[in-house]
A and B are shown apart, each in its own frame.
Chain A
Amino acid sequence: MGLLSKKDANLIKDPLADNNPITIQVLGICSALAITAELKASVVMAIAVMFVLGLGNVVISAMRNIIPSKIRIIVQLIVVATLVIIVDQVLKAFAYPLSKTLSVFVGLIITNCIIMGRFEAFALGNGLWRSFLDGIGNSLGYGIILVIVGFFRELLGSGTLFGFPVLGDPIEKTGLYSIGYENNGFMIIPPAALIVVGIIIWVQRSRNPALVEEN
């Protein structure tokens, strides 16, 4: 990354693995679990969060010296709510079926703890450019988990990716289905997401024992 200094590059790199918002900081879990039955919804959600967090971090960082600390939560909520309304209206206008699938979870970006967490922990104390990078980095880290979970749930649960059948046709028994593979309906139901994330955490911490917690 010739464009960024090493310190700035770390802002993007850290949240991808060792300081991941979902698996390490335990932020923004709700949406990661609820909308990941399809890969498409996961990707759109990740992009929406990236927009809100990137822009929100910049706005909060620009206003950080004039926000009275007593009412900062309300100011932050208003900024996020405004950005989320934009996302919601754009989705409703250009991707109506998708906005139906995401349902209230677009609105719940407002209370996604990643956003408040990054505002509080980073944007209030750092400059515009660094806040922007931090927002992008964290939403990428969030997006990666969403995409991994969405990938496995859609592939194993419905045999498709982005809606395209990749394992053959379950009715005509082509591809994998011809040798007796069946779609695993368990992956579609909501609790499966928790177990998939649990396994991701398991893999991640086995690879990096420094992250292991006390019981």
Chain B
Amino acid sequence: MLEHIELFFRSIFIDNMVFAVFLGMCSYLAVSKKVATAVGLGAAVIFVLAVTVPLNWLLDRYLLQEGALSWLGPEYADYNLSFLSFILFIATIATMVQLVEIIVEKFSPSLYNSLGIFLPLIAVNCAILGGSLFMQSRQIETFGLAFNYGLSSGIGWFLAILAIAAIREKIRYSNVPPPLRGLGITFIITGLMGIGFQSFGGMLTGGDDAAEEAQETVNLETPKVEEKETSTKEVTENNSEIDEKEISYNDVKK
């Protein structure tokens, strides 16, 4: 339970798709002019991420990983098909997006019309593929955690696009230097928001001694999560201080 809660908050705030790893920036920048469309796209992204990440987890676990084919028989245990993961993941995603499109068109034509071109574009939103690839590289352990990860990173993306859309609606009334208008100022605001989100980095790793101790006990209970965290940190080039802290935890334990 604890690791579910930790993963949930980590994916929303610390490893936020937009502010920490810059995924899905294109649609984030292109669709954030109005709050209403931003909400529609954000909801669709949450849904697609929450479906495709666990699906791809199953694919990865039972088809692609080294030794994943051992359920077929002992002679298949040596196969490692992980080089195929890009093509299978993207196929899952494209199929799911197509499915969502068909379902939405059938049951809610008004929502379908308001999303328009953005619905098929979800297929090439890097946040979606990134979610599956991070799921693979961080070695998420169980199906439940994979679902949790997909859902919470979707929520993180949703919050980010909602925030920037709200800011952009207000910024129309301010006097921005002409060359910075539109794209430029959006970039800079996103950068500032990213710096703000970096401060969440201390949320789970602990800012003071008491929290650090608590974190250490968590690590002792779930050693695998801890390994995942360090690799995560390396991947996202996050705050190097936290990195060092966690590596030193590992050293102490070894």
Q: Which residues of A contact B (CB under 8 A)?
A: 23, 26-31, 33-34, 37, 73-74, 77-78, 81-82, 84-85, 88-89, 100, 103-104, 107-108, 110-113, 116, 185, 188-195, 197-198, 201-206, 209, 212-215
Contacts and interface: CB of A to CB of B under 8 A. Distances in A.
Contacts of B124: 73, 77, 111, 113, 116
B176 interface: yes
B26 A27 contact: yes
Interface in B132-159: 133-134, 137
- Find the residue from A74, A81, A191 having the highest chain B CB count within 10 A: A191
Given A26-B29, A104-B134, A111-B128, A191 B182 contact: no
Nearest to B19: A191
Contacts of B83: 85, 88-89
B125 interface: yes
B195 interface: yes
Nearest to B18: A30
Contacts of A78: 87, 90-91
Contacts, number: 158
Interface residue SS majority, chain B: helix
B232 to A, nearest CB: 10
Contact of B86 (A23, A110, A193): A110
A197 B198 contact: no
B74 to A, nearest CB: 27
A148 B52 CA distance: 35
Q: How many residues of B sit at the interface, in one of the four size bands?
A: 35 or more
- Find the residue from A29, A74, A84, A110 having the highest chain B CB count within 10 A: A29
Contacts of B129: 107-108, 110-111
B191 interface: yes
B71 interface: no
Contacts of B19: 190-191
A103 B26 contact: no
Nearest to A195: B191
Given A30-B24, A34-B21, A197 B187 contact: yes
Interface in B184-212: 184-185, 187-188, 190-195, 198
A103 B234 CA distance: 9
25 contacts: A26-B29, A26-B183, A27-B26, A30-B22, A30-B130, A31-B22, A34-B21, A73-B94, A85-B87, A107-B133, A111-B130, A189-B198, A190-B22, A190-B238, A191-B191, A191-B193, A191-B194, A194-B22, A195-B187, A195-B191, A202-B180, A206-B179, A213-B183, A215-B172, A215-B181
